[in-house]
Amino acid sequence: MALTDSRAPTVTTTAALPAGPTPRLALYRGRFDPPGLHHVAILQALLQRFDRVVAMPWGPMPARPIDENVNPVYRARMIDLAFRRVDPRVVVDLRDLEGATISDSRALEADPALAGYVVFHVVEADALDEDRARLHDGARLVVIATAEAVAHVPGGHERVVVGGDVAGSVMRKRLYEGQGVDDLVPAAVARVIDRHGLYRGTEPRISARARFDSPRAFVVHDERNERAAAWARLFAPWSTTAPDDADLIVVLGGDGSMLHAIQTHWRRRVPFLGVNAGHLGFLLNDPRGLVDGVAQVEGLLRSDLVLHHLPMLHVEHQKKDGTWGADLTFNDAWVERSSGQSAWLEVKVDDKVRLPRLVCDGVLVSTAAGSTAYARSMGAQPLLLDTPAWLVVGSNVMDPIHWKSALVGQGSVVEVRSLHVEKRPLMGFMHGVPLGEVTALRARMSRAASVELAFVEAHDMAEKIARIQFPSP
């Protein structure tokens, strides 16, 4: 099964249909802010009655006052950590968080991925009228109720009895007052809350420290790189072949290996610890003293690590036939001319035209983490990782003559569009992968996808960027 959104294809999960009678699916929607142990208990109870359960967090709810407590990218991380390991039959669908929307219930039932399932919508007894008002007439309901409340549930609905509920507002209040919620949320969620200082009434900490006393590592290495292969063998005593059981994803190779590992494994929601067996290695730790032997590897895995929590870019690209595709990238995406003529581009930021005609070889959008890569080689100044902004960079700009790059706010949407599709064709690229001929590129920071990069303090990426900005003579 794949619940998919054409604008965010990388936030999908697949599973085969069970054999036997018509399978049943429970669609469990909620804020999960934060996801608690009672939410996990509901999932487990639903699994006793249904073949699949899809947990889908709401986007912003227009019927309520604006009460976003933490950035959705942190909610998405916590929800994945709380729910995705409950059971293989549980799917977490982040489309509404990513799209800042609330999907129509009838449209969800018509999703081709649900063909063959009988879909039930999960509602809670204490909010039955409010939850039912969001659904289409005739929607099948399964009502979650405590033993005390189940007798008051109207007839005609399936019922699932669970223990007591703990409202998200109760958990948030405890956290705001400086109390813990370790008894109310899964351990992995408690670690995220503590690590980033969530629900404290202040901006979350982008960078934090962590230590793993009994580390388990899922090792990814470049099989064409002999050094990386040799180092991988040193990690064997702490390695696991199951990435969902890992505390860290260890990447041995170059920046390209790290980017590929991120694209493949970001939904695991564990830190990526890289060791440079390649060239520049801005996203990785320098190997000196870290992988000289088994003792050094153990010291690396048990060391105090600096973790940087970094959102990914959500990028859409338009083909000549007008259709749009979408994906996520950690570093950058760009368009460039694919003929002998320069590109003529219009650049919009938040629907306002900022460059009505940019004559150049191409335009790149880059995260702070990616600002040390192609963005830097194109003349942009690298950004500190905690900069609440990202980059738009021009390549070989001819007009406007002095324009090179611009900073845009973390919540901004940037659109680059060809002014002459036929005469001046464009090629699109995302994390180095060609997208074919495109007519437009639209990008923003993802609301659901993020990555934690881990560094030994002496090799921290922030220090590498500082050395670029203040080079030694």
Please state, in angstroms and as integers, the Cα–Cα distance from residue 365 to each residue in 143, 438, 455, 459, following that order.
Answer: 46, 15, 25, 26
HSE-up of 224 (CA within 13 Å, CB side)? 4
Q: Give the tokens for residue 81.
A: 């950590």
Active-site residue, from 255, 327, 332, 460 = 255
Amino acid at 202: T
Question: What distance in Å separates the CA atoms of residue 377 and residue 386, rounded to the nearest whole number?
Answer: 21
Torsion of CA 33, 180, 202, 386, to 10 degrees: -90
Consecutive H or E run containing 394: strand 389-395
Say whether 255 is catalytic. Answer: yes
356: how many CB neighbours lie within 10 A of its CB?
Answer: 11
Task: Match 């309520």 to its residue by tokens.
Answer: 64
* Neighbouring-strand partners of residue 285: 275
Closest CA to 141 of 266, 49, 10, 216: 49
Task: Match 């982008």 to its residue by tokens.
Answer: 206
Contact 334, 364 (CB under 8 A): yes
Question: What distance in Å separates the CA atoms of residue 148 and residue 168, rounded to the nearest whole number?
Answer: 21
Q: What are the catalytic residues?
A: 255
